[in-house]
């Protein structure tokens, strides 16, 4: 151990489902390094993004505030320069701060070019692109340095960025530092709508594993859904996992592994176009539930955090972990009281999700239940951050139906459950958004009237797939 304050590394993946990891039960052996971190450190069992869209989720990770509070409720909006961030708080305490990879918080100023210094969230060292998916492909990674000059990094994209991270760690290992490594993988390559894994990696996982929601719903999804893409998707994650292992090897080599807090999470998940016409932007766990593990000082042998928590809690957790005060206005709560089986009696039992772009929606998730509301037709999800009226659209019993294949909304048998969750959502909206919208109950229906609601584009979920139930 040294007398230097804990270093901090955050590894952020893009569009990674929680159930891609062995620690969450994936049988394909994709993430041995993540699983090792989970055994050695603290695994957050039910980590939920505050918004299943890139920029809103990332604004929350940097600031500890909900997307509607930062104003970044959808893509294309910049992170306000005067909002305290993880980098500005640690930087003010003497930390060297560095950002590598995808940013996606510069708004429309220069989305495919260098990010202006005032829009970098307080990070000093910079090697990033705002929308990395548009300035790179799998073997051609172009980012921009502190001076706004383009830099091409050799190698497979996630390897190239991990290599840059190792160089940063080697250059600054004798000082306290914050490094935020933001990878694009396993996001699809937008221009070609595919998941370009390194040579041989896609083939390893084709036909190896398909989660129940994708097995049931992919036949109705555009372009074959997950059946077409999952091999490349898992291959990308495998290479990222190997890269994190190399990064940890570097920490070990430099003698600072025990003094470094390392957090690995994702901005959101992916339902592979099975819930709407996109890959996310729905309240289903495939879209909003992400992996999250922490290790290092304060988190070693921390066990399992079982209750649902939001990744809006990342920023205050890391600030507290290095012994600093969390700034006023931060809405997330540190996880430190929950590490090692502890309790936080003031923490809500549910987690809020804000949904934008495809719909103006809100959801709460508890350990057992998912409750979802949406603004009625006519709301503009690109321009409206919130609504004054919501209607119940989905209710899932996650204990009986963990992959959310049966929508229970409107069932008379579950009216009491829905009412309790509606109250919980109303409390969240008052506390986070300062709003008291009207939430209309779904029309009542009987058990025999259970049927999936159509997606916004008119498709019917799992159409043609039979599901039995006991009366």
Looking up residue 199, the CATH number of its domain turns out to be: 3.40.720.10
* 273 shares its domain with 404: no
Average pLDDT, the chain: 92
* 381 shares its domain with 256: no
* 327 shares its domain with 367: no
Percent of the chain predicted with pLDDT > 70 = 93
Phi and psi at residue 149, to the nearest 5°: -85, 140
Query: Is residue 40, in this structure, part of any structural domain at all?
Result: yes
Is residue 273 predicted with pLDDT exceeding 90? Answer: no
> Residue 451: its pLDDT value, please?
54
Q: What is the mean pLDDT of residues 399-418?
A: 97
Query: Is residue 389, in this structure, part of any structural domain at all?
Result: yes
Query: Is residue 344, in this structure, part of any structural domain at all?
Result: no
* 279 shares its domain with 367: no
286, 270 in Cβ contact below 8 A?
A: yes
> What is the total count of domains within the chain?
2
pLDDT band per the 50, 70, 90 thresholds, residue 192? confident
> Residue 250: its pLDDT value, please?
98
Tens digit of each residue's pLDDT (9 = 90 or more) over 124-150:
999 999 999 888 999 999 999 999 999
DSSP 31-59: -HHHHHHHHHSEEESSEE-SSSSHHHHHH
Query: Is residue 235, in this structure, part of any structural domain at all?
Result: yes
Q: For the chain, percent helix, then strand, then coil, each to nearest 5?
A: 30, 20, 50
Name the DSSP class of 359.
-
* 94 shares its domain with 197: yes
The Cα–Cα gap between 278 and 361 comes to 16
pLDDT band per the 50, 70, 90 thresholds, residue 470? very low
Distances (CA, A) of 168 to 125, 177, 248, 251: 9, 9, 13, 11
Query: Is residue 121, in this structure, part of any structural domain at all?
Result: yes
Tens digit of each residue's pLDDT (9 = 90 or more) over 91-106:
999 999 999 999 999 9
Is residue 21 predicted with pLDDT exceeding 90? Answer: yes
Residue at a domain's end among 305, 338, 371: 338
Q: Which domain holds residue 376?
A: 359-449
Higher pLDDT, 208 or 262: 262
> Residue 324: its pLDDT value, please?
97
Residue at a domain's end among 304, 338, 372: 338
pLDDT band per the 50, 70, 90 thresholds, residue 471? very low
> Residue 227: its pLDDT value, please?
80
> Residue 1: its pLDDT value, please?
44
Is residue 457 predicted with pLDDT exceeding 80? Answer: no
**C-beta atoms surrounding 345 within 10 Å:** 5
Cβ density class 309-342: b for 16+ within 10 Å, e for less: bbbbbbbbbbbbbbebebbeebbbbbbbebbeee
Q: What is the mean pLDDT of residues 260-274?
A: 95
Query: Is residue 1, in this structure, part of any structural domain at all?
Result: no
Q: What is the mean pLDDT of residues 431-435?
A: 96
* 295 shares its domain with 403: no
* 299 shares its domain with 396: no
Q: What are the residues whose beta carbons fall under 8 Å from the beta carbon of 158, sequence distance 6 or more?
A: 183, 184, 185, 236, 239, 240, 243
- What residue has token string 């996630």? 158
* 399 shares its domain with 367: yes
Q: What is the mean pLDDT of residues 290-317?
A: 97
Is residue 388 predicted with pLDDT exceeding 80? Answer: yes
The Cα–Cα gap between 274 and 455 comes to 9
Is residue 225 predicted with pLDDT exceeding 70? Answer: no
The Cα–Cα gap between 205 and 208 comes to 5
């Amino acid at each position: 151990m040294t007398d230097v304050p804990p270093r901090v590394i955050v590894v952020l993946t893009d569009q990674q489902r929680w159930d891609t990891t062995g620690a969450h039960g994936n049988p394909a052996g994709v993430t041995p390094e993540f699983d090792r971190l989970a055994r050695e450190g603290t695994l957050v069992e039910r980590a939920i993004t505050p918004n299943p869209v890139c920029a809103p989720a990332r604004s929350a990770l940097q600031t500890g505030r909900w997307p509607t509070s930062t104003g970044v409720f959808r893509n294309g909006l910049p992170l306000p320069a005067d909002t305290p961030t993880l980098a500005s708080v640690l930087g003010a305490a003497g930390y060297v701060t560095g950002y590598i990879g995808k940013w996606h918080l510069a708004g429309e100023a220069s989305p495919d070019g260098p990010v202006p210094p005032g829009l970098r969230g307080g990070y000093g060292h910079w090697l990033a692109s705002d929308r990395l998916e548009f300035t790179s492909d799998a073997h051609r990674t172009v980012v921009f340095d502190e001076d706004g000059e383009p830099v091409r990094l050799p190698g497979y994209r996630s390897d190239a960025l991990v290599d840059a991270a190792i160089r940063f760690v080697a250059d600054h290992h004798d000082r306290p530092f914050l490094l935020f490594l933001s990878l694009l993988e396993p996001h699809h390559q937008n221009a070609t709508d595919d998941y370009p894994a390194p040579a041989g990696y896609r083939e390893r996982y084709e036909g190896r594993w398909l989660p129940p929601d994708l097995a049931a719903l992919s036949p109705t999804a555009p372009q074959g859904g997950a059946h077409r893409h999952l091999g490349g998707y898992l291959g990308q994650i495998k290479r990222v996992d190997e890269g994190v292992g190399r990064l940890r090897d570097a920490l070990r080599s430099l003698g600072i592994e025990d003094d470094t807090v390392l957090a690995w999470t994702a901005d959101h998940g992916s339902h592979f176009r099975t819930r709407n016409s996109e890959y996310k932007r729905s309240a289903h766990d495939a879209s909003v539930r992400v992996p999250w593990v922490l290790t290092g000082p304060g988190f070693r042998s921390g066990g399992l955090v079982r209750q649902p928590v939001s990744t809006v809690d990342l920023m205050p957790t890391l600030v507290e972990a290095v012994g600093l005060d969390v700034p006023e206005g931060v809405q997330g709560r540190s996880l430190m009281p929950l590490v090692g089986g502890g309790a936080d009696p003031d923490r809500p039992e549910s987690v809020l999700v804000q949904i934008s772009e495809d719909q103006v929606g809100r959801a709460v998730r508890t350990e057992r239940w998912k409750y979802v509301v949406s603004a009625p037709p006519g709301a503009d999800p690109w321009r409206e951050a919130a609504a004054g009226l919501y209607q119940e659209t989905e209710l899932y019993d996650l204990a009986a139906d963990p992959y959310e294949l049966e929508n229970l909304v409107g069932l008379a048998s579950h009216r009491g459950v829905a009412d309790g969750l509606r109250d919980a959502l109303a409390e969240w909206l008052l506390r986070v958004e300062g709003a008291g919208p009207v939430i209309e109950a779904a029309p009542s229906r009987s058990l025999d009237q259970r049927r999936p609601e159509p997606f916004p584009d008119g498709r019917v979920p799992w159409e043609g797939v039979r599901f039995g139930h006991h009366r």
